[in-house]
Amino acid sequence: MTTAKGDTTLLTVEHETVSYVAGPLLVAGQMTGVGYDELVEVVSDGRVRRGRVLALEGDRAVVQVLDGTTGLSLPGTRVRTRGEVARVAVGDDLVGRILDGSGTPMDGGPPLRAVEYRDVNGAPINPVARNHPSEFIETGVSAIDGLNTLVRGQKLPIFSGFGLPAAELAAQIASDAAVPAAAEDAFVVVFAAMGVTQREAAFFRSTFAGSAALERTVLFLNTAEDPAVERLLTPRAALTVAEHLAFDRGRHVLVVLTDITNYCEALRELSAAREEIPGRRGYPGYMYTDLASLFERAGRIRGRAGSVTQLMILSMPDDDITHPIPDLTGYITEGQIVLSRELDRRGISPPIDVLPSLSRLMNAGIGAGKTREDHRAVADQLYAALARGRDLRRLVSIVGEAALSETERRYLAFADSFEQTLVNQGATRRTIEQTLELAWTLLRDLPPDDLKRIDPALVERYAGPGATVDPPTA
Amino acid sequence: MTETRAPVRGQAADVGTVHAVSGPVVTARGLPAARLYNVVLVGHARLPGEVIRLDAGDAVVQVYEDTAGLAVGEPVADTGEQLQVELGPGLLGSIFDGIQRPLTTLARRADDPVGEPMIERGASAPSLDRSRAWLFEPDVAEGDEVSAGDVLGTVQETGALGHRVLVPPGVAGAVTRVARGQVRVDEPVVWIGAEPLTLLSRWPVRLRRPIARRLALDQPLVTGQRAIDSLFPIARGGAATIPGGFGTGKTVLEQSLAKWSHADVIVYVACGERGNELTEMLDEFPTLTDPRTGSPLLERTVIIANTSNMPVAAREASIYTGITIAEYFRDQGRDVAVLADSTSRWGEALREVSSRLEEMPAEEGYPAYLSTRLAEFYERAGAVACLGGGERTGSVSIVGAVSPAGGDFSEPITQHSLRLAGTFWGLDTNLARRRHFPAIDWNRSYTLYDLDAWFDDEVAPDWHAQRAWVLQLLQQESSLLEIVQLLGADSLAPAERVVLETGRLLREDFLQQSAFDDVDAYCALPKQHQMLRVVHAAHDAMAAAVARDVPVETLAAAPVLREPARMRSWPDAEVAGNADALVERIRHDLEEL
């Protein structure tokens, strides 16, 4: 039992008083002394399953059974209280290990040597103690580094659709995210897979568990065939481990959570089983609060060396960005990277649509001394020009290209080459310098007077005559 | 507790037991004397909560902290008091959670200001610092007759603001003793009859503070934001709502208002939002100075922070905590702006608790009393004549952000807010994606406050005419753009294409405003007026040129029409001269064509 704190000191009381079992839930009587949200053990035919208390009324407790309720019977089932909330082992020893959805090793390795066992729910970071994220992370992906910059301590989801290469992008970022060479050993990836298929699990295993990558990875795997309610525990266990590595051990942790949609389905399943009043599309009214309790665990703390950066993959059902899952997520996270099915069909890789994408913390992480002095202005100009080019593309589909003026044709061409060269980089890794140089190459094709968002001095320096040599970096 | 003047006082210190627990909702038994909205302390950890329903022998409590580990049978103690805030010197520059616990104090451990970075359950500390002494300068003497609202004396709380110590509501009589000099907030400073009054007073958050009378709303709350002041101004004492999908810039706009609004005190309620955004404010505000007083902006700001991962019931309370503090400063004769980000998160907290109570849901699962609760909040805005002598006036303006699900403004919180607020700044996702900020949609937004007379008197006599011209031109532009989308720009007459060119100037060079640019972040009213004058002149010059058969393409390519883009960075002192010169150049250059 990885979730047990010790052994003999625990309060253990057994009750054979189960009166209701259905779906993931059971109701047990005579449960005096058990606390809300505490862990219990459900014992039937010698098998021990873990459960969590969802509600208490008098001596009755509603229990969510983490390992499934198949085979339980009313007379033969006993519920044992443990007197503590769910906990997970934390420590450096977890790095390099593959664990199941609740933190038990499943890689055949030795038992975990845990520093301690921690409450998976964590505690909210006091906003006063937070350190504002401002350290640039070079992911090597131009559409992110150049236009939607990721910084340490940020939470940034990838809004994907079924069949789009979000997992590949996340894997690319996790393996390429650059850290200063000296801090190489300070970088750790904590990967939590929730409800993934065997095919996806195999992909993540081969990506992260292969060779050198595993030495800096903790992998939590809850697959689609594991009990759905265990999925609610998986990200919490992963984030608890990440917080320990970051704030107690000084490491820079990149937490990858996939797939948030599977997590929300599990939340809805449990809510329906409890016969709660459903909110939009049947998801519970507290889904915002529940997701926030995960995502807000990203950040930095003043006076502590490490950081927790979150990258979540979220499959938008029917590619609908207004669906409750992406919608509520977008309200909590600090921006979003949006993948486009249209770009994917056109063979653009990675198919990042930069217009609806956003990084709210970008301003804090870029500029002279961090990336380059022209970064903000170049990004703004690219956005404005791309938006204009896209509008024209729509217009051309109606009135034909002949109706466009010379200037308008240049914007149309800009939109095309932006997608074909800057976004479409495949698996190559680009430095931020390379990304910005490429951006200037594209901007030089626009009328110089139209570069309204860039200081003329910067235009002169980077696009004027003689600017072909690499300008000095700050 | 003589400093308390809560109109409802319960019987103190009944103790019952926990009977049921479901998330933040706890049912207690054995509290027959409990009153609705009394504060109770739940469990051995003494978690604070509020009685929200009495049902036969059960008192249903919403608990302001995580209830994990709470067991049936643990004690529940009735404090006999409603949820109150502490009011007095020390509020300004502070950051509190939804039930006014001081977050800076909670983070401190010994000498380390962030030694306790996580908010642990059951943590508590007095809201106002008991150890700090303030210099009290009395304005009354022994023998004076005083009544509620009269000024007893002043404490210089910050460099900019004198904190007026008032006779609390419900107290009157002759002053029998006066202290002066250094006092702490809980030490008596003035005695009225036998009753000692301290700098600290308390007030129940769900009850509005009394006033003498309401005043007409005829002055704007100047914000320095062009799209707001020039097109859709909010009245001082009025209410505005900012709905917008995610990424449309609600928080940036709220923060700009917090920085630049012409208010004496800002109460910023961060309700269910991101922790990192607060950190940014806490980092930035001490470094910015209020251009009107020269003091750090933080010194006029009170922050109420209940981030999205902090307990949900305290999020519900945070709005009331904020507005009560605002009313307290209003009663001292101050202009206060309450910036609530976001009221949707507050509504969701209501919904969550309502759902746990198994109440019959109305629209989208929100309780049927949602509109009543929202009205109770927005109606606490107003410009008022304060209680007490000295003819003080004060105001509370409210700006509430709304986060509509799916960016769809037909959802209940947006709709109820629209009914209650006098100003609507609708943020548009398409504008935001083009990085047009602030993304205020000029076609949907409106203001119901008639402030033209004030602007005409105080800024320029043609203000109202210019505003009407801009609104009409933007309206015309958007109908023309619909045609262009279908048929291309060639289908328009030259005069109509001039409208498009002017529309572009208005959008790019006037309505867009960078919150992150040192000069552009705040735009004074005279500068707003001059910038519009330039655009208007450009429009007239272009119209005259096409009347002479100058092709629109030639006009659009005129270098002089690139110059309005630089207006935003004009220093205030040079605005009038620059505008005159630019208008002259535009007229001259376009006439040459």
Q: Tens digit of pLDDT per residue, chain B (593 long)?
A: 333 344 444 444 689 999 999 988 999 999 988 999 999 999 999 999 999 999 988 999 999 988 989 999 999 999 999 999 999 999 999 999 999 999 999 999 989 999 999 998 888 899 999 999 999 999 999 999 999 999 999 999 987 789 999 999 999 999 999 998 999 999 999 999 999 999 999 999 999 999 999 999 999 999 999 999 999 999 999 999 999 998 899 999 999 999 999 999 999 999 988 999 899 888 888 888 887 888 889 999 999 999 998 988 899 999 999 999 999 999 999 999 999 998 999 998 998 888 888 888 888 889 999 999 999 999 999 999 999 988 899 999 999 999 998 889 999 999 999 999 999 999 999 999 888 999 999 999 999 999 999 999 999 999 999 999 999 999 999 999 999 888 877 889 999 999 999 999 999 999 999 998 889 999 999 999 999 999 999 999 999 999 999 999 899 889 999 899 999 999 999 999 999 999 999 999 999 88
pLDDT attached to residue B478:
95
**How far is the CA of A54 from the CAs of A38, B50, B70, B324, B365, in angstroms?**
8, 21, 12, 35, 21
- For B280, the closest of A128, A132, A303 (CB atoms) is A132
Q: What are phi and psi of B272, to 5 degrees?
A: 70, 30
Contact between residue B14 and residue B31 where contact means Cβ atoms under 8 Å apart: yes
**Which of B44, B62, B274 to mutate to probe the A interface, most A CBs <10 Å?**
B274
Sign of CA dihedral B298, B378, B416, A280: positive
Find, among B267, B298, B271, B272, the residue nearest to B283 by Cα.
Answer: B298
Question: How would you class B385 by CB atoms within 10 Å of its CB: exposed for 0-12, middle for 13-18, buried for 19 or more?
Answer: middle
- Rounded to whole angstroms, the maximal C-alpha distance in chain B is 90
Asked whether the ipTM of the predicted complex exceeds the cut of 0.85, the reply is: yes
Domain spanning A88-364, CATH class: alpha beta
* Beta bridge partner(s), residue B265: B336
* Beta bridge partner(s), residue B55: B58
What is the b/e burial string over A423-446, where b = at least 16 CB atoms within 10 angstroms of the residue's CB? bbbeeeebebebbbbbbbebbeeb
Q: Within 10 Å of residue A102's Cβ, how many Cβ atoms?
A: 23
pLDDT band at A194 (very low <50, low <70, confident <90, very high): very high
Q: Which pairs from A267-271 meet CB under 8 Å and 24+ separation?
A: A267/A232, A269/A23, A269/A24, A269/A228, A269/A229, A270/A24, A270/A25, A270/A64, A270/A228, A270/A229, A270/A232
- CA B310 to the chain's CA centroid: 20
Q: What are phi and psi of A95, to 5 degrees?
A: -65, 130
Is B358 in a helix, a strand, or coil?
A: coil
pLDDT band at A8 (very low <50, low <70, confident <90, very high): very low
- Cα–Cα distance for residue pair A61/A55, rounded to 1 Å: 6
Return the residue of B nearest to A451 by Cα: B562
Q: Within 10 Å of residue B460's Cβ, how many Cβ atoms?
A: 18
CATH 3.40.50.300 placement within chain B: 213-449
Return the residue of B nearest to A32 by Cα: B72
Contact between residue A349 and residue A113 where contact means Cβ atoms under 8 Å apart: no
What does the pLDDT average to over A95-119? 90
CATH 3.40.50.12240 placement within chain A: 88-364
Domain spanning B463-592, CATH class: mainly alpha
CATH label, B213-449, candidates 3.40.50.300, 3.40.50.1450, 3.40.190.290, 3.30.420.40: 3.40.50.300
Closest chain A C-alpha to B238 CA, distance in angstroms:
27
pLDDT band at A356 (very low <50, low <70, confident <90, very high): very high
Is B590 in a helix, a strand, or coil?
A: helix
Element (H, E) at B26: strand B25-29
* Beta bridge partner(s), residue B341: B270
From chain A, the residues in CB contact with B345 under 8 A are 288
Share of chain A residues as helix, strand and coil, in percent rounded to the nearest 5: 40, 25, 35
Rounded to the nearest 10 degrees, the angle between the axes of helix A287-295 and helix A260-273 is 140
- For A399, the closest of B27, B407, B487 (CB atoms) is B487
**How far is the CA of B338 from the CAs of A171, B92, B127, B332, B427, in angstroms?**
44, 14, 19, 16, 19
Complete edge-to-edge strand list for the sheet that includes strand B133-138: B162-166, B151-156, B133-138, B181-184
Is A308 in a helix, a strand, or coil?
A: strand
A366 Cβ contact partners less than 8 Å away, ≥ 6 residues apart: A136, A149, A372, A375, A376, A379
Q: Is the pLDDT of residue A5 over 70?
A: no
CATH 2.40.30.20 placement within chain A: 13-85
Contact between residue B7 and residue B170 where contact means Cβ atoms under 8 Å apart: yes
A194 or A450: which leads in pLDDT: A194
- For A286, the closest of B352, B408, B487 (CB atoms) is B352
What does the pLDDT average to over A256-280? 91
pLDDT band at A85 (very low <50, low <70, confident <90, very high): confident
Contact between residue B89 and residue B137 where contact means Cβ atoms under 8 Å apart: no
Closest chain A C-alpha to B356 CA, distance in angstroms:
8
CATH 2.40.50.100 placement within chain B: 129-199
pLDDT attached to residue A467:
63
From chain B, the residues in CB contact with A308 under 8 A are none
pLDDT band at A178 (very low <50, low <70, confident <90, very high): low
- CA B577 to the chain's CA centroid: 36
Closest chain B C-alpha to A109 CA, distance in angstroms:
33
Rounded to the nearest 10 degrees, the angle between the axes of helix B525-547 and helix B494-505 is 160
Q: SS in 3 state form for A112-162?
A: CCCCEEEECCCCCECHHHEECCCCECECCCHHHHCCCCCECCCEEEEEECC
Contact between residue A353 and residue A338 where contact means Cβ atoms under 8 Å apart: yes
- Cα–Cα distance for residue pair B305/B48, rounded to 1 Å: 17
B227 Cβ contact partners less than 8 Å away, ≥ 6 residues apart: B425, B438, B440, B442, B511, B513
**Which of B103, B252, B309, B507 to mutate to probe the A interface, most A CBs <10 Å?**
B309
From chain A, the residues in CB contact with B406 under 8 A are 322-324, 327
From chain B, the residues in CB contact with A154 under 8 A are 276
Q: What are phi and psi of B93, to 5 degrees?
A: 85, 0
Question: How would you class B529 by CB atoms within 10 Å of its CB: exposed for 0-12, middle for 13-18, buried for 19 or more?
Answer: buried
pLDDT attached to residue B4:
38
In the stretch 227-246 of chain A, residues with CB closer than 8 A to chain B read none
What does the pLDDT average to over A174-182? 63
Q: Is the pLDDT of residue A179 over 80?
A: no
Sign of CA dihedral B337, B379, B248, A322: positive
Contact between residue B49 and residue B42 where contact means Cβ atoms under 8 Å apart: yes
A285 Cβ contact partners less than 8 Å away, ≥ 6 residues apart: A276, A277, A278, A279, B348, B351, B352, B355, B365
**How many residues are recorded in chain B?**
593
pLDDT attached to residue B10:
42
pLDDT attached to residue B289:
87
pLDDT attached to residue A184:
62
Q: Would the CB atoms of A132 and B283 count as touching at under 8 Å?
A: yes
Q: What are phi and psi of A413, to 5 degrees?
A: -65, -35
A127 Cβ contact partners less than 8 Å away, ≥ 6 residues apart: B95, B103, B270, B275, B278, B279, B282, B305, B307
B385 Cβ contact partners less than 8 Å away, ≥ 6 residues apart: B211, B212, B213, B214, B215, B391, B392, B393
B424 Cβ contact partners less than 8 Å away, ≥ 6 residues apart: B232, B240, B241, B243, B418, B444, B445, B446, B447
Q: Would the CB atoms of B107 and A129 count as touching at under 8 Å?
A: yes
- For B403, the closest of A123, A331, A383 (CB atoms) is A331
Could you tell me the two tokens for B464? 């109202």
Closest chain B C-alpha to A434 CA, distance in angstroms:
24
pLDDT band at A183 (very low <50, low <70, confident <90, very high): low
- Cα–Cα distance for residue pair A269/A418, rounded to 1 Å: 43
- Cα–Cα distance for residue pair A432/A430, rounded to 1 Å: 6
Look up residue B274 and give its DSSP letter. Answer: -
Question: How would you class B181 by CB atoms within 10 Å of its CB: exposed for 0-12, middle for 13-18, buried for 19 or more?
Answer: exposed
Closest chain B C-alpha to A259 CA, distance in angstroms:
20
Q: Would the CB atoms of B68 and A449 count as touching at under 8 Å?
A: no
> In chain A, what percentage of residues exceed pLDDT 90?
63
Taking only the tens place, the pLDDT of each residue in A383-399 is 989 999 998 998 888 88
Closest chain B C-alpha to A336 CA, distance in angstroms:
9
pLDDT attached to residue B353:
86
- Cα–Cα distance for residue pair A85/B447, rounded to 1 Å: 52
Q: Would the CB atoms of A363 and B67 count as touching at under 8 Å?
A: no
Question: How far separated are the first and last CA of chain B, in Å rounded?
Answer: 81
Q: Torsion-angle region of residue B23: left (phi > 0), alpha (psi -120 to 50) or beta?
A: left
Q: Is the pLDDT of residue A182 over 60?
A: no
pLDDT attached to residue A210:
63
pLDDT band at A468 (very low <50, low <70, confident <90, very high): low
In the stretch 136-165 of chain A, residues with CB closer than 8 A to chain B read 153-154
CATH 2.40.30.20 holds for B15-81: yes
pLDDT attached to residue A33:
85
A206 Cβ contact partners less than 8 Å away, ≥ 6 residues apart: none
Q: SS in 3 state form for B573-586?
A: HHHHHHHHHHHHHH
Domain spanning A13-85, CATH class: mainly beta
Q: Within 10 Å of residue B495's Cβ, how many Cβ atoms?
A: 12
Contact between residue A195 and residue A220 where contact means Cβ atoms under 8 Å apart: no
Question: How would you class B451 by CB atoms within 10 Å of its CB: exposed for 0-12, middle for 13-18, buried for 19 or more?
Answer: buried
Contact between residue B82 and residue B39 where contact means Cβ atoms under 8 Å apart: yes
- For B434, the closest of A293, A358, A384 (CB atoms) is A384
pLDDT attached to residue B211:
96
From chain A, the residues in CB contact with B433 under 8 A are 355-356, 387
pLDDT band at A15 (very low <50, low <70, confident <90, very high): low
pLDDT attached to residue A374:
94
Find, among A191, A205, A286, the residue nearest to B365 by Cα.
Answer: A286
Domain spanning B129-199, CATH class: mainly beta
pLDDT band at A452 (very low <50, low <70, confident <90, very high): confident
- Cα–Cα distance for residue pair B177/A152, rounded to 1 Å: 58
Chains A and B form CB pairs within 8 A to the count of: 218
Could you tell me the two tokens for B441? 């949609």
Q: Would the CB atoms of A126 and B553 count as touching at under 8 Å?
A: no
pLDDT attached to residue A386:
95
